[in-house]
Chain A
Amino acid sequence: MSGRQEYSPDRGDWICAGCCKPLELKKMQIMYLENAFDVTLPQCPCCGRVFVPKSLAEGRMAEVESLLEDK
Chain B
Amino acid sequence: MIAVSSAPSPEILARTLSLCPKCLRRIPAFYTPGNAAGEVLLHKTCPEHGVFRTPVWSGEPDFLSWYTRKPLLPLYSRGHEGRGCPYECGLCREHRQNSCCVLLEITQNCDLNCPLCFASAGGEHQDPSLDELGGLLEGIAAQAGKPILQLSGGEPATRNDLPDIIRLAKKKGFPFIQLNTNGLRLGAEEHYADALAEAGLSVVYLQFDALKESSLLAIRGRNCLEVKRAAVRAALDACLPVVLVATVVPGVNDGELGELLNLALAGGSGVRGLHLQPAAYFGRYPEELSARRMTLAELMRSLAEQSAGLIDAADFRPNSGEHELCAFSALYSRTPEGGLKLLRSKKSCCAPDGRRDAENERPRDGAEQCKAFTTLNWRHPREIAEAAGQDDFGRILAESGLDLRFTVSAMAFQDVLSLDLDRLQQCCVHVADKKGALVPFCAYNMTGLDGQALYRDVRGTGLRS
Contact = CB atoms under 8 A, between A and B. Distances in A.
Nearest to B344: A70
Interface in A49-71: 60-64, 66-71
Interface in B350-391: 372-373, 375-376, 387, 389-391
A39 B389 CA distance: 14
Contact of B400 (A3, A38, A71): A71
Nearest to B387: A60
Contacts of B395: 1
Q: Chain A contact residues (Cβ within 8 angstroms of B): what range?
A: 20 to 34
B interface: dominant SS: helix
B291 interface: no
A54 B415 CA distance: 41
B400 A1 contact: no
B376 A37 contact: no
A37 B402 CA distance: 18
B416 to A, nearest CB: 37
A68 B400 contact: yes
A3 B331 contact: no
A19 B397 CA distance: 36
Interface residues of B, number: 21
Interface in B316-368: 331, 343, 345-347
Given A70-B331, A71-B400, A64 B393 contact: yes
A4 interface: yes
A69 B347 contact: yes
Contact of A60 (B345, B372, B391): B391
A8 B184 CA distance: 45
Given A67-B376, A70-B331, A71-B400, A5 B392 contact: yes
Given A67-B397, A70-B345, A38 B389 contact: no
B375 to A, nearest CB: 8
Contacts of B400: 67-68, 71
A70 B346 contact: yes
Contact of A4 (B345, B346, B376, B391): B391
A66 B372 CA distance: 7
Given A70-B343, A71-B343, A64 B391 contact: no
B396 interface: yes
Contact of A2 (B375, B389, B396): B389
Contacts of A60: 387, 391, 393-394, 397
A63 B346 contact: no
Contacts of B397: 60, 63-64, 67
A36 B392 CA distance: 8
Given A70-B346, A71-B343, A37 B372 contact: no
Interface of A: 1-5, 35-39, 60-64, 66-71
Interface of B: 331, 343, 345-347, 372-373, 375-376, 387, 389-397, 400, 402
